[in-house]
């Protein structure tokens, strides 16, 4: 077996065998296949695709490329949640403390930003002291004690995905169905939860631009889940505009704190109710989805979810004085308004463009070794269907560099599409697969 032949086979649109896929995954993790050889194969997969069978074999090989977690000592059904990625997507950070406050254990490994999308781990790290690198034994102990832990993907969990994920980001190969499905499902299979709820985002700020491709990848991931004996539900959510008002790391943590205090924008509310009600159902804690939604809202408004969030931050070394007094968070130097140049209704706020604008401000990485600026980002004061008057503020840019800030203001003025006719409010839950 040699890698040149495997690359040539995929280049020539052949179906790879199990041996070829396993050889590639195992030898790449060992360092016996170079990044440029892996990049060539990944690009061939991107261009020529994979059959369902190949994608399943790739997923299982990646899941077995490192350690797999055993969460059975928690003695309760653990339901994992993962998003296919988006802009302003702070759903995990808002929802998981709510789920834990209902007595359902949360043992969650999250990722960093990828392309124009943000990452939960980058957001959590904007809380001073929050430690995302906790040894697995301690991670399980924390879940036993407090009911919740959210950490980064350990080096040894699906290491093939860790390497491929970072590589894909640098060679424009993120938005590929077999690569996204195998990336997500390999991590979920290795992370040990018995059941999985996937937030499959659809729209301009998602990797799946239309509902058809979201349904297709959902069916594929469900099939892989069934083969791995993990019941999987996919909730299709709207990512045509960013989720909530905040885009950027600290700004999204500030919005999370507000949500957990009960001040939740409609889109975030609808999405956490849609996804959360299925997590509760799969955990075996309630078959009635409407009742589950009521329990979610109850624990937000009675403060239990906020208290659980404080417990999560405390147990992972975060300084809760920042959560209790959000004014302590470091602010960007320049806070620049984006002003509407005409009156009307907001018809479009392309989420990918907003995500790229935020990355340009420094909130995300261009190269995988880049640092990020936690303070910068965008606050969207107006969302799709809102009415706006000329001269009103559409958004604020938070920048640490004046020139970059002004460029972002100009770009946002173009991103906001204002029309004369009234616009129907968006739906945020599009389907359940």
From 112, 187, 230, 374, active-site residue: 187
Residues of this chain, 154-173, that bind ligand URA according to CB under 6 A: 165
Residue 92 interacting with ligand URA (CB under 6 A): no
Neighbours of 424 (CB within 10 A): 8
Q: Which of 241, 243, 66 is nearest to 159 (CA)?
A: 66
Query: How many residues of this chain bind ligand URA (CB under 6 A)?
Result: 9
Residue 183 interacting with ligand URA (CB under 6 A): yes
Given a contact cutoff of 8 angstroms between Cβ atoms, the answer to whether 229 and 63 are in contact is: no
Q: Which of 197, 177, 182, 185 is nearest to 225 (CA)?
A: 185
Among this protein's residues, is 168 annotated catalytic? yes
Cα 56 from chain centroid (whole Å): 22
Alpha helices in 107-260 (DSSP H): 120-124, 136-146, 159-170, 177-190, 211-227, 249-260
Residues of this chain, 279-318, that bind ligand URA according to CB under 6 A: none
Closest to ligand URA by CB, 184 vs 313, is 184
For residue 365, the minimal CB distance to ligand URA (Å) is 15
Name the residue number minimizing CB distance to ligand URA: 183
Q: Which of 414, 417, 299 is nearest to 357 (CA)?
A: 414
SS3 379: strand
Residue 203 interacting with ligand URA (CB under 6 A): no
Residue 180 interacting with ligand URA (CB under 6 A): yes
From 10, 65, 81, 82, active-site residue: 82
For residue 80, the minimal CB distance to ligand URA (Å) is 12
Number of H helices, E strands in the chain: 17, 13
Report the C-alpha gap between 207 and 189 in whole angstroms.
21
From 80, 89, 161, 353, active-site residue: 161
Residue 113 interacting with ligand URA (CB under 6 A): no
For residue 182, the minimal CB distance to ligand URA (Å) is 8
Closest to ligand URA by CB, 182 vs 292, is 182
- Binder to ligand URA among 85, 225, 276, 364 (CB under 6 A)? 85
For residue 427, the minimal CB distance to ligand URA (Å) is 23
Among this protein's residues, is 112 annotated catalytic? no
Q: Strand pairing of 377-380 and 334-339?
A: unpaired
DSSP 293-338: HHHHHHHHHTSHHHHHHHHHHHHTT--HHHHHSGGGSPPPSEEEEE
Report the C-alpha gap between 76 and 35 in whole angstroms.
40
Among this protein's residues, is 82 annotated catalytic? yes
Given a contact cutoff of 8 angstroms between Cβ atoms, the answer to whether 147 and 100 are in contact is: yes
Among 139-147, 178-186, 217-225, 337-345, the segment contacting ligand URA (CB under 6 A): 178-186
Backbone φ and ψ of 141, nearest 5°: -60, -40
Residue 239 interacting with ligand URA (CB under 6 A): no
Given a contact cutoff of 8 angstroms between Cβ atoms, the answer to whether 138 and 131 are in contact is: no
Given a contact cutoff of 8 angstroms between Cβ atoms, the answer to whether 208 and 84 are in contact is: yes
- In sequence order, what are the residues at sequence separation of 6 or more whose Cβ sits closer than 8 angstroms to the Cβ of residue 369? none
- Binder to ligand URA among 42, 184, 200, 408 (CB under 6 A)? 184
Which pair of structure tokens corresponds to residue 164? Answer: 């491929």
Given a contact cutoff of 8 angstroms between Cβ atoms, the answer to whether 243 and 268 are in contact is: yes
Closest to ligand URA by CB, 217 vs 313, is 217
Residues of this chain, 25-84, that bind ligand URA according to CB under 6 A: 84
Among 37-45, 177-185, 195-203, 418-426, the segment contacting ligand URA (CB under 6 A): 177-185
Among 180-188, 273-281, 285-293, 333-341, the segment contacting ligand URA (CB under 6 A): 180-188
Residue 351 interacting with ligand URA (CB under 6 A): no
For residue 301, the minimal CB distance to ligand URA (Å) is 32
Residue 152 interacting with ligand URA (CB under 6 A): no
Q: Strand pairing of 387-388 and 148-152?
A: unpaired
For residue 108, the minimal CB distance to ligand URA (Å) is 13
Closest to ligand URA by CB, 183 vs 204, is 183
Residue 189 interacting with ligand URA (CB under 6 A): no
Q: Give the active site residues.
A: 82, 161, 168, 183, 187
- Where does this chain bind ligand URA (CB under 6 A)? 84-85, 111, 114, 165, 179-180, 183-184
């Amino acid at each position: 077996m040699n890698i040149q032949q495997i690359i040539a086979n995929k280049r020539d649109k052949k179906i790879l065998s199990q041996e070829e896929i396993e050889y590639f995954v195992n030898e790449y993790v060992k360092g016996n296949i170079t990044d440029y050889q892996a990049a060539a194969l990944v690009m061939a997969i991107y261009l020529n695709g994979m059959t369902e069978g190949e994608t399943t074999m790739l997923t299982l090989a990646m899941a077995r490329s490192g350690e797999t977690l055993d969460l059975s000592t928690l003695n309760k059904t653990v339901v994992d949640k993962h998003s296919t990625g988006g802009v302003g997507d702070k759903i995990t950070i808002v929802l998981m403390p709510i789920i834990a406050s209902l007595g359902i254990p949360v043992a969650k490994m999250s990722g960093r930003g990828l392309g124009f999308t943000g990452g939960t781990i980058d957001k959590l790290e904007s809380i001073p002291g929050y430690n995302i690198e906790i040894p697995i034994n301690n991670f399980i102990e924390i879940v036993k004690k407090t009911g919740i832990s959210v950490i980064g993907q350990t080096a040894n969990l699906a290491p093939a995905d860790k390497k491929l994920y970072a590589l894909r980001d640098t060679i424009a190969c993120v938005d590929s169905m077999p690569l996204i499905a195998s990336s997500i499902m390999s991590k979920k299979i290795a992370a040990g939860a018995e059941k999985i709820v996937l937030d499959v985002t659809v729209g301009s700020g998602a990797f799946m631009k239309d509902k058809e491709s979201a349904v297709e990848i959902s069916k594929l991931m469900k099939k892989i889940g069934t083969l791995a004996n993990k019941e999987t539900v996919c909730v299709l959510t709207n990512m045509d505009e960013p989720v909530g008002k905040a885009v950027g790391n600290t700004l999204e943590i500030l919005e999370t704190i507000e949500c957990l205090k009960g001040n939740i924008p409609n889109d975030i509310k609808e999405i956490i109710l849609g996804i959360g009600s299925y997590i509760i159902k799969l955990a075996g804690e309630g078959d009635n989805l409407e009742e589950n939604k009521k329990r979610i809202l109850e624990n937000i408004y009675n403060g239990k979810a906020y208290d659980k969030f404080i417990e999560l931050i405390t147990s992972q070394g975060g300084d809760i004085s920042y959560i209790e007094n959000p004014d302590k968070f470091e602010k960007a130097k320049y806070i620049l308004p984006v002003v509407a140049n005409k009156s009307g209704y907001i018809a479009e706020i392309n989420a990918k463009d907003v995500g790229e604008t935020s990355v340009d401000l420094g909130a995300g990485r261009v190269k995988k070794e880049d640092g990020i600026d936690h303070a910068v980002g965008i606050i969207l004061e107006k969302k799709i269907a809102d009415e706006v008057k000329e001269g009103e503020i559409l958004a604020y840019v938070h920048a640490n560099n004046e020139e970059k800030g002004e460029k972002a203001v100009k770009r946002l003025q173009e991103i906001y599409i204002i029309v004369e006719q009234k616009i129907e409010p968006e739906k945020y839950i599009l389907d359940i697969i």
